[in-house]
Structure 1
Amino acid sequence: MSLHNKKIEEIVSIFDTDLNKGLSNEEAKKRLEKNGKNELKEANKKTIFQIFFEQINDVMIYVLIVAAVITTIVNKEFTDAIIILLVVIVNAVVGVTQELKAGKALEALKKMTNPKAVVIRSGKTFEINSSDLVVGDIVLLDAGRVVPADLRLVETSSLQIEESSFTGESVPVNKDASVILEEDTLMSDRINLAFMSTLVSYGRAKGVVIATSNDTQIGKIADMLDTEDEKTPLQVKMNKLGKQLGYIAIVICVLIFVIGIMQKRGAVEMLITSISLAVAAIPEGLVAIIAIVLSLGVTRMSKKNAIIKKLPAVETLGSVNYICSDKTGTLTQNKMTVVKTFTKDIDENLLTKAFILSSDAKIEGDIQIGDPTELALIAKGINEGILRDSLDELHPRVDEYSFDSDRKLMSTLVKNKDSFRVYTKGALDNLLKISTHIVVDGNVVEFTDSLKEEVLEKAHDMAKEALRVLAVAYKDTDTKISSDEFENNLVFIGISGMIDPPRMQAFDSIKKAHKAGIAVVMITGDHKDTAFAIAKNLNIASSEDQTISGPELEEMSDEMLEKVVTNYRVFSRVSPVHKVRIVKALRKNNNIVSMTGDGVNDAPSLKSADIGVAMGITGTDVAKGASSMILTDDDFSTIVVAIEEGRNIYDNIKKAIIFLLSCNLGEVISIFIATILAWPIPLIATQILWINLVTDSLPALALGVDPISTDQMSKKPRDKDENFFSQGAWFRALVGGTLIGTLTLSAFVIGLIEKGYSLNTLSMADEPSLAYARTMAFIVLTVSQLFYAYTTRSSEESLIKIGIFKNKFLNYSLIIGLVLQFSLLYIPVLSDAFKVTKLSIFDLDIVILFALIPVIVNELIKKFIKFK
């Protein structure tokens, strides 16, 4: 029900209350019992068990669990299965911990919306907990008090309310109870209403409670936050990959089992063989490796002032192609600053002193009290060495005429030695009407039309730059005069233009984002001209055609908005609902959207975006709770740094996946071909598991922390639907895996031939001969994979160009892998467990040569074949 368009008498009637006496205590108690506490209702919380189940409810996890069962069947013992299950459990515990730390948005909302409230009940005024407020209560407001519920104002006296965390406006809003508004008036323009959780910065008021709890505007925001989290692009791709690997494993099992039966092999033998192939097809360490790579990325990013709340968000950042940024406090400093002044006087100090003496604001160290525009004037004085305390001592205030929205002026009367002086500041138009003289070069002269025109022209220039213009004047008097005599026959001093200025770091960051193919969009509650001026200054928008306002959005359907949303770079005068619509429209156009913000009003859109980014210093707890990432320095440039890190992490994950799948393909090919040809299996299940969990994992982890390439931010964002096998990755994986597999099988065959068997008699090989041949195959497979990791560091640049030994962790993995691998040959206990034996020098040379071939071939592919 709209209440901003109704008269006060109607409001009183609708809520059956009394403006002077308020509700009776008995009636308030009844309404509280009927409607409940004035607190935001929390959504049903998930239990730890539910969160844990969500972490393991993933196709890749199921594949790992199946692998654990298969391993137990093959090996007839539980050690390997326990290792796999530990990987699953550790991964799930990490996820549960992350989620318990996150999801605090509703709790933060509840905490910030339960201040004290001054009410009138049964004709008496007293203070109660705001949670006990009911609709129809009469609430009193004064400066510094948090609005405890949604109110229809019925009396206002110079009331200003700070709504930047709610509407996005950077200056307090003047409120007026007497105004009757149109029904379709925007929420941010409803000046006869006060909204729950906003702050009274000036004046006094009386209001009727018209909504409590989740019926308030902030309650509606809380309801918007209570939505299911969507899966990130990485989670979607990993689920798809997991399904594909699962299907492949099943097909391999069935196919090999059928082939074996057709070859008249034993059913038990073929079951073990097919299960071995399935184990070879599944990279057991993949889930753990990705979790570790993401965790390491989170740690690195925390050192760069970006706190990641959910691991997959690291990768999501790397695919972002739209940054939707709040203006106030994100692109700007959330601090009004005087940037231009104009006076005809030779002494500009007079202008500064006049503004300070006609203000109420104070700055004491880090403590700032007062209206942001007045604080800007006080800060200007401090920068010029003009301190408020010193001025107040020399010119103590005697009287004042408070600001009100009709006059748009504020006046003070101060003692000036043996006389008095009036200082008046406020709207230029109003001040021009009551000024008869002006200070020019230290002299007071008549304020002629031509001089007024000059002042108006300067003010117009400031307005074109979206500066908020304030004017100031004075009047000397020998005696103390009453306030109704303050504002006439004034001497005009000058004007100041102020704005919430852009963050200096934002300029370079936006330039980098554009170079990386990322569009930057400003979404703000400020007026169109102010928003566009900032956006143009920051090179976000180049023409006013790229701006659109909230009222214009209201006239668009969701379908229409989806069609035109990419045409705009500035969205002004928007509500929280508009922000969510904008983010969703961009995502409908297959964009990966990041939304930055710091206010309560940003929370729903932060949660709706692919990745929400909250400010850590100025951000509200609500915004932090709804976000995926928090910037500890509130620096927009940190977002660009995080995107660069995210891009690199995705590339590294892709390298690790392609590497692991190439290696596993090699295992599958060697076993598959041997089975088809009715040869002995070249690798046993224990050897395969060793490779998958140990030898493969170390290089894969090292690839996961590969250094950032220098051209990372000169590339366009990758397509949302791009899979891990794009840009020729499938071809390189196929070639690499085929080579590794055939060379492994070749080493196996060479080993058996050296023992006196021919191709026709390989199936009759005895156990010692098989152990020797399998050792050759085992070494070729493991060492070739250790070498192959180096060539997968880049899909385009040669090993020499990227630097063979630049990734120190890959060097460590090579050394450790070789040491571990050859330990299996020369430590009897291990060689017995893995059924391997020592090799001759000649055969060692053969396996090393074979291990180098896949690297050489992949380097030739880079040189002669280019993929798009």
Structure 2
Amino acid sequence: MKVMHSKTIEEALEELKSSINGISTQEAEKRLKIYGKNKIELEEESTLKIFIRQFTNPLILILILASFIALYLGDLKDFYFIVGIVFVNGLIGFYQEYKAKTKIKDLLQLSIPKVEVLRDGKVVELSSEDITVGDIIILREGDVIPADVRFIETNNLLVDESLLTGESIPVEKHAEKVLPEDTPIYERENIGYGGTYVVKGVAKAVVFAVGLNTEMGRIYTKLKIKERETPLTRSIRSFSKRLIITLVLILSFIFVIGLIQGRELKTLVMLIIAQLVSSVPEGLPVVITIALVVGAITLYKKKTLIRQLPAVESLGSATFICTDKTGTITENKLKVEKVYSLDNEIIPLVFALCNDSEIEKGDPIETAMLK
């Protein structure tokens, strides 16, 4: 079977059981049940899991063990103090991570674009999540392409595919092109990919893949890897291990010396346990958590959200960052610094009238002219 970029417009519409007038609302509802919503579901960590994770740090586990030893020895003062420290530390970390999770969820909801769709032969505006295979969508300058589509009409169409290919230069698209099956993604002039956006021109297109079946969805599926330890959590685990080994060696030596001196076994055991409890740095987890929270707040003020507190420290541990610059770590925006003209009154009028962009979306040059 031919892939979509190697089909004519008529073949594409026929295979997708669609037409230039789109599909009916009833048919769309059936297809939504088959293909699902047009969204990439991010794995959401439960609130309980976030709370429990605050107490799985090796240093915290040592403190919890020390608190039970203190309770066993009848030292209620130390027991309440250590439990209080652990609980407060857990609450601080939980609050910060839960707040980040909520804000990220809200931002994702706000970022769901609207799209013009032909349903029952009429143009309606829908959430991009509600479009499905076979839908005919209308794209204009500045629109985000909501799913993988085969263009069926194009007029001076330029698409920014930097999100997918890394190339910041907009790509020309032509609906009438029929390409060989082995054409690479970045050369498929008749295809639009979900997540890319229209820089210039207008188009009509038929949706052929949604959600995880899009190119972006496939990339997301491949990149779903197990979370790795951050440098900080790795350091804490290493420190906790060294602390335990050091304490065991020192206290074992003291225990042996006590036995050689003929001291009572019960007294020696109580001494060793008491020393173990007093050697654990109760305040260290709180100091670490507060430092991370301060870092997270600083990043938040710079419009960066941290999902898990230890990640605050990760960037500080980076020695080299290798990345493409244009459109990746820059905003891919232009700015008019100075205008030279014999007639300064006519220039703003030309900038405004010879322009199809909006203030925040469209061709970077035209957007700069508007601003």
Q: TM-score range by the shorter chain?
A: 0.7 to 0.9
Secondary structure of the corresponding residue to residue 94 of structure 1: helix
Deviations 1:389-413 (A, max 9, x none): xxxxxxxxxxxxxxxxxxxxxxxxx
State the partner residue of 2:19. 18
Match of 2:246 among 248, 265, 287: 248
State the partner residue of 1:70. 69
2:145–2:196 contact (8 Å) kept in structure 1 = yes
Aligned AA for 1:13?
E
Aligned AA for 2:172?
N
1:171–1:372 contact (8 Å) kept in structure 2 = no
State the partner residue of 2:322. 324
Residue 158 of structure 1, CA deviation: 1.9
State the partner residue of 1:134. 132
Match runs of 1:288-299 below 5 Å: 288-298=286-296
1:360–1:370 contact (8 Å) kept in structure 2 = no
2:142–2:197 contact (8 Å) kept in structure 1 = yes
Change (3 A) 1:285 1:371: closer
Secondary structure of the corresponding residue to residue 314 of structure 2: helix
State the partner residue of 1:81. 79
1:201–1:370 contact (8 Å) kept in structure 2 = yes
Secondary structure of the corresponding residue to residue 204 of structure 1: strand
1:159–1:200 contact (8 Å) kept in structure 2 = yes
Secondary structure of the corresponding residue to residue 90 of structure 2: helix
1:113–1:197 contact (8 Å) kept in structure 2 = no
Residue 78 of structure 1, CA deviation: 1.1
Secondary structure of the corresponding residue to residue 161 of structure 1: strand
2:35 pairs with 1:41: no
Match runs of 1:778-797 below 5 Å: none
Please tell me whether Structure 1 or Structure 2 has the larger radius of gyration of its CA atoms.
1
Match runs of 1:107-122 below 5 Å: 108-109=107-108, 111-121=110-120
Change (3 A) 1:163 1:349: farther
Aligned AA for 2:283?
G
Any gaps of 5 or more consecutive residues in structure 2? none
Secondary structure of the corresponding residue to residue 70 of structure 1: helix
State the partner residue of 2:355. 361
Match runs of 1:499-538 below 5 Å: none
2:24–2:119 contact (8 Å) kept in structure 1 = no
Q: Distance in 1 between matches of 2:152 and 2:80?
A: 70
Residue 210 of structure 1, CA deviation: 0.6
Match runs of 1:234-633 below 5 Å: 234-298=232-296, 301=298, 305=302, 309=306, 310-328=308-326, 332=330, 334-336=332-334, 356=350, 360-361=354-355, 367=359, 370-376=362-368, 378=369
Residue 177 of structure 1, CA deviation: 0.8
Deviations 1:763-786 (A, max 9, x none): xxxxxxxxxxxxxxxxxxxxxxxx
Deviations 1:643-685 (A, max 9, x none): xxxxxxxxxxxxxxxxxxxxxxxxxxxxxxxxxxxxxxxxxxx
Aligned AA for 1:57?
T
Residue 95 of structure 1, CA deviation: 2.0
Aligned AA for 2:124?
E
Deviations 1:289-327 (A, max 9, x none): 32233344555x459847562433343333211123452
Change (3 A) 1:313 1:179: same
Aligned AA for 2:68?
V
Change (3 A) 1:165 1:33: same
Aligned AA for 1:28?
A
State the partner residue of 2:31. 31
Change (3 A) 1:319 1:279: same
1:67–1:284 contact (8 Å) kept in structure 2 = no
1:38–1:212 contact (8 Å) kept in structure 2 = yes
Q: Distance in 2 between matches of 1:330 and 1:49?
A: 35
2:122 pairs with 1:125: yes
Secondary structure of the corresponding residue to residue 56 of structure 1: coil
State the partner residue of 2:213. 215
Q: Distance in 1 between matches of 2:136 and 2:42?
A: 27
Residue 187 of structure 1, CA deviation: 3.4
Q: Distance in 2 between matches of 1:307 and 1:35?
A: 34
2:141–2:362 contact (8 Å) kept in structure 1 = no
1:361–1:370 contact (8 Å) kept in structure 2 = no
2:149 pairs with 1:151: yes
Change (3 A) 1:349 1:326: farther
1:359–1:374 contact (8 Å) kept in structure 2 = no
2:166 pairs with 1:174: no
Deviations 1:625-659 (A, max 9, x none): xxxxxxxxxxxxxxxxxxxxxxxxxxxxxxxxxxx
Change (3 A) 1:126 1:86: same
Residue 41 of structure 1, CA deviation: 2.7
Residue 236 of structure 1, CA deviation: 0.3
Q: Distance in 2 between matches of 1:81 and 1:295?
A: 26
2:204 pairs with 1:206: yes
Residue 135 of structure 1, CA deviation: 1.1
Any gaps of 5 or more consecutive residues in structure 1? 342-346, 383-868
1:252–1:278 contact (8 Å) kept in structure 2 = no
Secondary structure of the corresponding residue to residue 6 of structure 2: coil
1:58–1:239 contact (8 Å) kept in structure 2 = yes
Higher relative contact order (CA 8 A, sep 6+): 2
1:113–1:196 contact (8 Å) kept in structure 2 = no
Residue 244 of structure 1, CA deviation: 2.2
Match runs of 1:455-854 below 5 Å: none
Aligned AA for 1:216?
T
Q: Distance in 2 between matches of 1:132 and 1:33?
A: 11
State the partner residue of 1:61. 60
Q: Distance in 1 between matches of 2:203 and 2:356?
A: 23
Aligned AA for 1:134?
T
Residue 165 of structure 1, CA deviation: 5.5
Secondary structure of the corresponding residue to residue 82 of structure 1: helix
Q: Distance in 2 between matches of 1:24 and 1:58?
A: 54
1:361–1:369 contact (8 Å) kept in structure 2 = no
Q: Distance in 2 between matches of 1:363 and 1:205?
A: 16
Aligned AA for 1:247?
I
Change (3 A) 1:369 1:35: closer
Change (3 A) 1:172 1:109: farther
Q: CA RMSD in A?
A: 3.8
Q: Distance in 2 between matches of 1:42 and 1:186?
A: 28
Q: Distance in 2 between matches of 1:157 and 1:148?
A: 19
Change (3 A) 1:223 1:163: same
Change (3 A) 1:369 1:282: closer
Q: Distance in 2 between matches of 1:252 and 1:116?
A: 69
Q: Distance in 1 between matches of 2:166 and 2:325?
A: 8
Change (3 A) 1:298 1:209: closer
2:96 pairs with 1:98: yes
State the partner residue of 1:561. none
Residue 5 of structure 1, CA deviation: 3.1
Residue 357 of structure 1, CA deviation: 7.7
Q: Distance in 1 between matches of 2:312 and 2:130?
A: 43
Deviations 1:10-60 (A, max 9, x none): 3233323333x43345433332222222233342x3322222222211221
Residue 243 of structure 1, CA deviation: 1.7
Residue 269 of structure 1, CA deviation: 0.8
Change (3 A) 1:226 1:333: closer
1:40–1:110 contact (8 Å) kept in structure 2 = no
Change (3 A) 1:196 1:303: closer
Residue 211 of structure 1, CA deviation: 0.7
Secondary structure of the corresponding residue to residue 228 of structure 2: coil
Q: Distance in 2 between matches of 1:165 and 1:115?
A: 19
Residue 152 of structure 1, CA deviation: 0.5
Change (3 A) 1:131 1:289: closer
Query: Structure 2 length as normaliser, TM-score?
Result: 0.80
